[in-house]
Amino acid sequence: MSEKKYEELHKLYDNNKIGALVQEICEYYSTRDNYENNSYEDEIEPPEIVEAAYELFCLQSREQILDEFEIVRKKYPTLYQDIAALHNTLLINMDFSALEERSAGKIAARCGKSPDEILSKVDLFSRSSNNLSEALDCFFKWL
């Protein structure tokens, strides 16, 4: 990871306007290229699952997440380059039910669960957790 990314990531964690989920997303996308030969798969879920889960949990509080991504875009441009595609995906899909179905389908295909079950758990964990980052952790434990 470049020194600039590292500095921006450190500043991002000190910014109280950026929630834990967006911080985690920025860290994930900015550091995933540091792993050699897909070694990250030994440490975290496969990227298809992680990235689809991020989309699903971002949709739970879409407007807030979009606002936080805008802050990242303005204040942390080097980090933003890594999350720009996710930000654009969330912006473009105004009818986000199709995006939810697509993301749930990706996870279901890898985990042997139904898309409806995935969406139900995302909703349950989002409602019962203190924040979306905690909800995401519960979701990964359930998977």
User: Does an H or E element contain 141, and which?
Assistant: helix 132-142
> Low-confidence residues of the chain, pLDDT below 70?
1, 33-44
Provide the CB-side half-sphere exposure for 69 (13 A, CA): 21
pLDDT on residue 56: 95
Per-residue model confidence as pLDDT tens digits over 51-86: 999 999 999 999 999 999 999 999 999 999 999 999
Q: For the beta carbon of residue 133, count every other beta carbon within 10 angstroms.
A: 16
What share of the chain in percent tops pLDDT 70? 91
Q: Where are the domains of the chain?
A: 3-142
pLDDT on residue 32: 80
pLDDT on residue 47: 87
pTM listed for this prediction: 0.85
Give the angle 87-120-113 at the CA atoms, nearest 5°. Answer: 95
pLDDT on residue 2: 81
Cα→Cα distances 81→2, 29, 62, 75, Å: 13, 9, 20, 12
pLDDT on residue 35: 55
